[in-house]
Structure 1
Amino acid sequence: MEAELRGTPTSIPVSNPNLLQTPRDSLSGALRGRLGSLDGACIEKLLLHCASALESNDVTLAQQVMWVLNNVASPHGDPNQRLTSWFLRALIARASSLCPTAMPFAATGLARARPMTVTELAGYVDLTPWHRFGFSASNGAILKAVQDRPKVHVLDFGITHCMQWPTLIDELAKRPEGPPSLRITVPSSRPPVPPSLNISIEEVGLRLANFAKFRDIPFEFHVIKANSANSGDGMDAALRFRQELASGQLDPSSLGLRDDETLVLNCQSWLRYLPEESGGIARDPSSRDGFLEFIRGLGPRIVTVTDEDSDLDSPSLTSRIMACFNYLWIPFDALETLLPKDSPQKAEYEADVGQKIENIIGFEGGRRIERSESGVRFVQRMKRARFQSIPFDEETVKEVKLLLDEHASGWGMKKEEDMLVLTWKGHSSVFTTAWVPDGFDE
């Protein structure tokens, strides 16, 4: 198991080992020989027992396991302890919905995600290559695709508030043949997930325009507005996002496409927030496959997609917890090498990951929007949707490697047939890909 392989502390003291003595043979058997200390593999077993109890509505057993986890978790401890704090918080929330009076403890001391300034967001993005990896690889593929093209239109679907584009603007300004005119279009709606920004997307566009002007690039920025009729007060944020996205923002007539422009589609950490097909006769453009069908119909010169390389969409709570625990230790472990334990920046970064854990574990149905799939599964999805992969050229791969050299030595890269994969201590974390529709005619 990955939890046994990680480079984190070998054990976590438990303040009261007797709490491990439950009347359930399965739990005591799982913990036999581990009394007095809990490593990552044992914590994982506890989480799975708790998930199994919750799935069978056994609140008593779930409460017993959470008492143990409560003595392990610490928001100021080592990576395993901090990660456990967020899992415990999510499990408490889920269990409280089954039996509100049966949870006499709570995970405390955890930071909450808050809106950032532009400067803080830049620092957030620069801290690890989690986002910059995809930025760098995608920009390299885009630069190659629009070489010698005088007019470029980027449709940007992403969660990092256009932080990718200053670097692309800078590179376009250096083109030997001269820079193109650049137009960027973004939807006004975005998934209700961190990082959030304390200024509007329109203000982001103004700042990009100023930067493009400084680099002598003709620039336009367009925000596609949602139909406010579908954005009722009190509507769940996840549902509102999907309805707003489908309401006019995925309509070719709203995109202002121009025949003389080279169209680029960019999706950074976006597709995992779109639901699977609802089962209706007509495909919903805000569903995952419906969205791919929609963008294919636009005839883009290139489609770039970056996302987290993990399957977190199982209908089974136990499967999701196992996948989540064996994946989201990566940012906690990576941050341990970068920032001191009492760093506010570390706490806020981990709070973003914690919100993801809470959604994966605490919600079902339409409210559970964290549904990432592995790169391998995504590649299969794109090929079913009649896209062909575009290999990243050696210059792009070189640039990505130089980027990783700026970060801790644990970060690495795998070059696979249809994608590049960011790794931490050999474990896959983020994949990035580039595509063109089958039969695309330049």
Structure 2
Amino acid sequence: MLLLWLVTPNQRLTSWFLRALVSRASKVCPTAMDFDGSSTIRRRQMSVTELAVYVDLIPWHRFGFCASNSAIFKAIEGYSKVHILDFSITHCMQWPTLIDALAKRPEGPPSLRITVPSCRPPVPPFLNVSCEEVGLRLSNFAKFRDVPFEFIVIDDPSYLASTEIMPKESSHDFHFESLLNHLTPSVLNLRDDEALVINCQNWLRYLSNIEQPGSSVQYSSLRDAFLRTVKAFNPCIVLVVDEDSDLSAPSLSSRITTCFNYLWIPFDALETFLPKDSSQRIEYESDIGHKIENIISFEGLQRIERLEPGIKVSERMKNAGFFSVPFCEDTIGEVRSLLEEHASGWGMKREEDHMLMLTWKGHNSVFATAWVPIDLQD
């Protein structure tokens, strides 16, 4: 593994699949491999500055940030108070850009509240500061930009986080069912005079899409329960961004094929501009390896990477009572400007249900969608 930088992207990708298969085999014969039930890949925690560089390497995350922020900005026009429920894995890296845009609003900035859950999937990137510290930094930036700001963390006593030990794959449930019990108007302090925004960036895939016998959740899966819960809050807009691939199949061979045919994209994209011995590239690829290991090595509730393609997510949104809304031309222009800052292989196209699709050399990679409750449909 120390010499991965010497070979081609496909060879490096293949090596991660081989590692995942070895990890899977170790679960069959644990005494031979001394398997302890956790991921074999250990990742360091990044500083905030390092995380900013990380999300800027390729537009994998920034595409969703840009499309969502522009759609949010348009949706909250005329509102003096805004409340964002943020469900994401990138530690609020999306929000400085929106705060800056709100500061420049001709009618003046609204007061902004951002609420985040204390629980988070144990997946990269990991940060070396707490949610509260992230909120403090955002508060300081908002104060500098003269934007009234409040940051709230939904505390869940059942979620035990540690800043000293990396989260383990064995914590596969993430207490999401407990989190759903905390998603109530009273706990969230929802207010009638606020524009409510639901932001889901690379989040839905970690909510189980399988039925859980004996679960107290009344819907078929936690994923559906979450969508119907937030729909009941009557938000003015819901943003859903995720990777466009189907990695939830029960068949291992199907997952291996689909996963390989999809995850070559970031490996290939990184190869176009980072040197062979780049620590940034090796670290980014290691995070993808973390994902591959979970997709290939684990089954049941421990297999948390249950990605669904955009078309399937759209079906779920419609079944939950949402209606898709188009991104405006200003948003399209902002996304295109963002992509111009990166390698020429990146592109964008429009799909059904007003979906924006990030592409690499013509291949679908990340989708962005915007939704409103059917009750609010114009």
Structure 2 length normalisation: TM-score?
Answer: 0.91
Q: 1:313 aligns with which of 248, 260, 264?
A: 248
Q: Which amino acid aligns with 1:410?
A: G
Q: Which runs of 5+ in 1 are unaligned?
A: 1-69, 104-109
Q: 1:394 aligns with which of 329, 335, 353?
A: 329
Per-residue CA distance 1:117-158 (angstroms, 9 max, x = gap): 000000001111000000000011100100111000000000
Q: Does residue 1:161 correspond to 2:91, yes or no?
A: yes
- Number of equivalences: 363
Q: Does residue 1:434 correspond to 2:364, yes or no?
A: no
- Give the secondary structure class of the aligned counterpart of 1:239: coil
Q: Judge conservation of contact 1:150–1:180 (CA < 8 Å) in 2.
A: yes
The 5 Å alignment of 1:202-213 reads 202-213=132-143
Task: Report the counterpart of residue 198 of structure 2 in structure 1.
Answer: 265
Q: Judge conservation of contact 1:227–1:244 (CA < 8 Å) in 2.
A: no
Q: Which amino acid aligns with 2:222?
A: S
Q: Distance in 2 between the 1:139 and 1:382 partners?
A: 20
Q: Does residue 1:359 correspond to 2:289, yes or no?
A: no
Task: Report the counterpart of residue 149 of structure 2 in structure 1.
Answer: 219
Q: State the Cα distance separating 1:232 from its structure 2 match.
A: 10
Task: Report the counterpart of residue 422 of structure 1 in structure 2.
Answer: 358
The 5 Å alignment of 1:100-139 reads 112-139=42-69
Q: 1:328 aligns with which of 250, 256, 263?
A: 263
Q: Does residue 1:185 correspond to 2:109, yes or no?
A: no
Q: State the Cα distance separating 1:441 from its structure 2 match.
A: 7.4
Q: Which amino acid aligns with 1:424?
A: W
Q: Does residue 1:297 correspond to 2:232, yes or no?
A: yes
Q: Judge conservation of contact 2:350–2:357 (CA < 8 Å) in 1.
A: yes
Q: Judge conservation of contact 1:231–1:244 (CA < 8 Å) in 2.
A: no
- Give the secondary structure class of the aligned counterpart of 1:130: coil
When Rg is computed on C-alpha atoms for both structures, the one with the higher figure is: 1
Q: Distance in 2 between the 1:126 and 1:227 partners?
A: 34
Q: Judge conservation of contact 1:86–1:357 (CA < 8 Å) in 2.
A: yes
Per-residue CA distance 1:47-106 (angstroms, 9 max, x = gap): xxxxxxxxxxxxxxxxxxxxxxx9xx9453110111011101100011122235878xxx
- Give the secondary structure class of the aligned counterpart of 2:113: strand
Q: Which runs of 5+ in 2 are unaligned?
A: 34-39, 163-167
Q: Distance in 2 between the 1:251 and 1:352 partners?
A: 34
Cα distance, 1:137–1:240 mapped onto 2, change above 3 Å: closer
Task: Report the counterpart of residue 222 of structure 2 in structure 1.
Answer: 287
Structure 1 length normalisation: TM-score?
Answer: 0.78
Q: Distance in 1 between the 2:127 and 2:181 partners?
A: 24
- Give the secondary structure class of the aligned counterpart of 1:237: coil
Q: Which amino acid aligns with 1:159?
A: I
Q: Distance in 1 between the 2:57 and 2:114 partners?
A: 26
Task: Report the counterpart of residue 311 of structure 2 in structure 1.
Answer: 376
The 5 Å alignment of 1:224-235 reads 224-228=154-158, 231=160
Q: Judge conservation of contact 1:227–1:247 (CA < 8 Å) in 2.
A: no
Q: Judge conservation of contact 1:189–1:244 (CA < 8 Å) in 2.
A: no
- Give the secondary structure class of the aligned counterpart of 1:192: coil
State the superposition RMSD in angstroms.
Answer: 2.3
- Give the secondary structure class of the aligned counterpart of 2:106: coil
The 5 Å alignment of 1:15-26 reads none
Q: State the Cα distance separating 1:235 from its structure 2 match.
A: 9.5
Q: Judge conservation of contact 1:404–1:412 (CA < 8 Å) in 2.
A: yes
Deviates more, 1:378-387 or 1:152-161: 378-387
Task: Report the counterpart of residue 147 of structure 1 in structure 2.
Answer: 77
Q: Which amino acid aligns with 2:375?
A: G
Q: Distance in 1 between the 2:202 and 2:220 partners?
A: 17
Q: Distance in 2 between the 1:190 and 1:245 partners?
A: 10
Q: Distance in 2 between the 1:352 and 1:231 partners?
A: 23
Task: Report the counterpart of residue 18 of structure 1 in structure 2.
Answer: none
- Give the secondary structure class of the aligned counterpart of 1:439: helix
Q: Distance in 2 between the 1:417 and 1:354 partners?
A: 31
Q: State the Cα distance separating 1:302 from its structure 2 match.
A: 0.3
Q: State the Cα distance separating 1:231 from its structure 2 match.
A: 4.9
Larger RCO (CA under 8 A, 6+ residues apart): 2
Cα distance, 1:354–1:371 mapped onto 2, change above 3 Å: same
Q: Distance in 1 between the 2:199 and 2:107 partners?
A: 24
Task: Report the counterpart of residue 179 of structure 2 in structure 1.
Answer: 245
- Give the secondary structure class of the aligned counterpart of 1:238: coil
Q: Does residue 1:170 correspond to 2:106, yes or no?
A: no
Q: Distance in 1 between the 2:371 and 2:51 partners?
A: 29
Q: Distance in 2 between the 1:360 and 1:144 partners?
A: 37
